Amino acid sequence: MLRSVEHLIEAANQGAKAKTLGNHSMEQDDKAIYYRYYWTVVCQVDKATGKATYNNGGYNTSSTTRTINSYKEEYGAE
C-alpha cells in the first residue's frame, strides 16, 4: 500500500475533514469520504454502508491503477 494512502486513511479514521499529501488528498462530509489523486475522485467510501466505489477517470496509467489498488487493499473490491 502506498504510504500517502495509508496516511490519508489514518487521517480519515481519526476524523480529519481534509488532508493533502502531494498529489493525493482526502475530504469527508457526513455521508462519504472522498479520496482524490490529482483532481479525480479515485475512491469514494459511503459512511453508512462502508461500501467503496472506484473510478480511474479515464486515466489508465500505472500510477492511477496503483493508487486505486492501494484503496482496494483497505476497503475491498467493488
Number of domains forming the structure of the chain: 1
pLDDT of residue 78 exceeding 80: no
pLDDT at 1 over 90: yes
Helix (H, G, I), strand (E, B) or coil at 25: strand
18-21/32-37 β-pairing:
unpaired
Q: Is the pLDDT of residue 76 over 90?
A: yes
Q: Write out pLDDT tens, residues 9-58.
A: 999 999 999 999 999 999 999 999 999 999 999 999 999 999 999 999 99
Confidence class of residue 77 from pLDDT cuts 50, 70 and 90? Answer: confident
The residue range of the domain holding 37 is: 3-75
Confidence (pTM):
0.95
> Of 42, 31, 50, 47, which is closest to residue 5 (Cα–Cα)?
42
